[in-house]
Amino acid sequence: MIHQVTPTIHLSPIAPADRDDIISHSQDRELSRYTRVVPYPYPPALADEWIASVADDVSRNGRETIWAIRDETERMIGTIELAPGGRGREHASEIGYWLAKPYWGRGIMSAVVQYVVRLGFREFALERITAHVFVLNSASARVLEKNGFIVEAPLLRREYRRDGQTFDGRLYARLRDD
């Protein structure tokens, strides 16, 4: 299913044809710096593993849990995930996202997060959406705050990075307005 977020940005399922875009966008030290899941350098085989794991998630959960963010060219320019909370926590979900660097600072992720949060509350009957953010990631914090998320907890020295350093983070949350 295609979700039209703005006249130029839409979301659709991740496909095997996205492999090259995933590899070229992920080969970015700055993107890796702000995420827990994108290593730098990025091994191309990880893209194949990841595409396969996304397909498994769809069959296990019976719905899309992660989407490709695409522009008018249909090329993948980022991803956004609404990860199910698991058994007994079906009302909750964790949001996670990244955008390729050439597209930063145009309001794209603010619009995508707004769309996906609404989808989660209205279509998936979620009551709670959370996000974990490194304190150094001011742009991501801003995207969440603009979308009504508040800081629920500091996460001191919680994040272990590949270079052996630990970082502080913050747990952001937004509840459904009933």
CB of 62 to ligand COA, least distance (A): 26
- Of these, 3, 13, 19, 34, which contacts ligand COA (CB under 6 A)? 34
133 belongs to the binding site for ligand COA (CB under 6 A): yes
Partners of 12 in the beta sheet? 68
CB of 8 to ligand COA, least distance (A): 13
Q: Pick the closer one to ligand COA by CB: 54 or 79.
A: 79
Q: Pick the closer one to ligand COA by CB: 109 or 129.
A: 109
- Contact indicator for 171, 151 with CB cutoff of 8 Å: yes
- Of these, 31, 66, 92, 126, which contacts ligand COA (CB under 6 A)? 31
Q: What is the helix, strand, coil percentage profile of the chain, to 5?
A: 35, 30, 35
Sole residue written with tokens 């660097």: 101
Residue closest to 175 by CA, chosen among 133, 123, 134, 120:
120
Sole residue written with tokens 């977020």: 5
Summarize as ranges the residues that interact with ligand COA (CB under 6 A).
31, 34-35, 97-99, 104-110, 131, 133, 137-140, 142-143
